[in-house]
Amino acid sequence: MKTKNLLTIICLAASLNSFSQEKWVNLFNGKNLKGWKVLNGDAEYFVQDGAIVGTSKLNTPNTFLSTEKHFDDFILELEFRVEEGLNSGIQFRSNSIKEYKNGRVHGYQYEIDPSPRGWSGGIYDEGRRGWIYPMDKNPEAKTAFKANDWNKVRIEAIGTNLRTWLNGTPVANVLDNQTSSGFIGLQVHNIQKPEQVGKTVQWKNIRICTENAQAFRTPDKHEIYQANCIDNTLSAEEAKDGWKLLWDGKTTEGWRGAKSSSFPKEGWLIEKGLLKVLSSNGGESSNGGDIVTIKKYKNFELTVDFMFTEGANSGIKYFVDTELNKGDGSSIGCEFQILDDDIHPDAKLGVKGNRTLGSLYDLIPAPENKKVRKNGEFNNARIVVTGSKVQHYLNNVLMVEYERNSQMWQALVNYSKYAKWPNFGNPEEGNILLQDHGNEVWFKNIKIKEL
């Protein structure tokens, strides 16, 4: 009996030990590109000294060397080396299907960025939403990249949680449910200058763990910021950090008409997690009318995802006083302008572009070279108010920064359409407003954190 029990214990221990180590599978055999295929562009890939080498080429779009196999949950490790002046990336959970932009590669990308910007390891949504984890979310990780040397990558994609590391440093942490399966891809970015021709990026020691990946995920020590990209939800970390949903994605709770005690009965539509201003005659607050938060806010960080239809005009206002304007037109407050700059005539009015997208409307212009997502893609507006200091961000890039309650501020107001409104922009608190300007605009992921 004792011998039998001992054998049982030994067998059980051996069995447990077999599950205590990751089971890695090599995606690259070190000799040729078997199991891989080229998508979208004409940049060249070849094998040299046990590494895959991608070479930049003029007059071709982004090129991807992708695995023929698709993966769901996994842990991926590899090494890369890139020449200065060439941007690149590692696709994961990515796809190329005819129904989406005629086969355009789209999906998550681990950024490879040797430039002074230092965004290597950030997560970019290639061919779709753009940056979902830019490195201003985790600036300490910008120094993890090693120039002119091999860099070690770790990517964990498990359920809705996507995390990245660079040379052992935690870089990005994202919650997202856009894509649950796809290929691994190695990108050679398109180039615009002749001097960039022939620059290379290399990858080697590419291995993946798909069996029981959840058991081998790195424990989350909450060292870095976590970005929640799941629509109209709060993550546990967001809730702990003080964030609240300003709109729940389903009802009108917490909102009313700017000139009414109830939510408008027409002009607005809640559909599939989107809050839509419906198209009418293009007039200012002449259909359903503006809507405002029932609660007033003082110091806060507000974030809103918005999508505008062709030629549309709208806005996000704050420090709104709904008692100031009881007549026609919109309620009065500071405005983060939403506008199709390419088509709407308002972009050419005002002073030096101060009515364009991202501007403090009619007061301070946003930069001309801002990156705007169109054609059915959402942009992100972020407004940060700390005392008299206010900042506008568009897609995580600072557009406008100013100080209220100052001599310069009053001079700006006096030269604007708001000069006739007493104490404009200076109250301690006010409502937050979404504008009806008679054009269809969609909103979602409306969140606020009081500071």
Q: DSSP assignment of 121-162, as one string?
A: T-EEEETTTEEEE-GGGSGGGGGG--TTS-EEEEEEEETTEE
User: Which pLDDT score is estimated for 5?
Assistant: 55
H or E segment at 175? strand 169-175
User: Which pLDDT score is estimated for 1?
Assistant: 46
Q: In 214-357, at which residue ranges do the beta strands (DSSP E only) sit?
A: 227-228, 243-245, 255-257, 268-271, 274-277, 291-293, 300-308, 313-321, 332-339
Neighbours of 59 (CB within 10 A): 9
- Tokens read off for 242: 């003080």
The structure's pTM equals: 0.83
Q: What is the rounded distance in angstroms from the CA atom of residue 147 to the CA atom of residue 414? A: 51
DSSP designation for 194: G
Rounded alpha-carbon distances, angstroms, from residue 207 to 82, 210, 243, 313: 19, 10, 38, 49
Q: Is 439 helix (H, G, I), strand (E, B) or coil?
A: coil
Q: What is the rounded distance in angstroms from the CA atom of residue 261 to the CA atom of residue 411? A: 35
Q: What does 326-379 look like in DSSP terms, one character per residue?
A: -SSSPPEEEEEEEE-TTT-GGGGSSSTTTTSTTSBTTTBPPPTT-----SS--E
**In sequence order, which residues have a C-beta less than 8 Å from that of residue 391 and are 6 or more positions away?**
382, 383, 384, 398, 400, 401
Neighbours of 65 (CB within 10 A): 23
Q: What is the CATH code for 236-450? A: 2.60.120.560
- The low-confidence residues of the chain, meaning pLDDT below 70, are 1-20
Q: What is the rounded distance in angstroms from the CA atom of residue 254 to the CA atom of residue 288? A: 17
- Tokens read off for 342: 């390419």
Q: What is the rounded distance in angstroms from the CA atom of residue 338 to the CA atom of residue 356? A: 7
How does strand 169-175 pair with strand 227-228? parallel
For tokens 């005009």, the residue is 313
**Beta bridge partner(s), residue 130:** 125
How much helix, strand and coil, in percent to the nearest 5, is found in the chain?
10, 40, 50
Neighbours of 422 (CB within 10 A): 8
Length of the chain: 451
Q: What is the rounded distance in angstroms from the CA atom of residue 255 to the CA atom of residue 260? A: 10
What's the CA angle centered on 311, arms 315 and 400, to 5 degrees? Answer: 40
CATH topology of domain 22-228: Jelly Rolls (2.60.120)
Cβ burial, residue 248 (10 Å; 0-12/13-18/19+): middle
Q: Is 41 helix (H, G, I), strand (E, B) or coil?
A: coil
**Beta bridge partner(s), residue 155:** 76, 164
Closest CA to 257 of 381, 444, 436: 436
For tokens 């200076």, the residue is 426
What's the CA angle centered on 253, arms 250 and 255, to 5 degrees? Answer: 115
Range list for CATH 2.60.120.560 in the chain: 22-228, 236-450
Neighbours of 375 (CB within 10 A): 7
Closest CA to 367 of 411, 398, 413: 398
Q: What is the rounded distance in angstroms from the CA atom of residue 30 to the CA atom of residue 301? A: 49
User: Which pLDDT score is estimated for 22?
Assistant: 87
Q: Is 434 helix (H, G, I), strand (E, B) or coil?
A: strand
Q: What is the rounded distance in angstroms from the CA atom of residue 336 to the CA atom of residue 343? A: 18
H or E segment at 3? helix 2-18
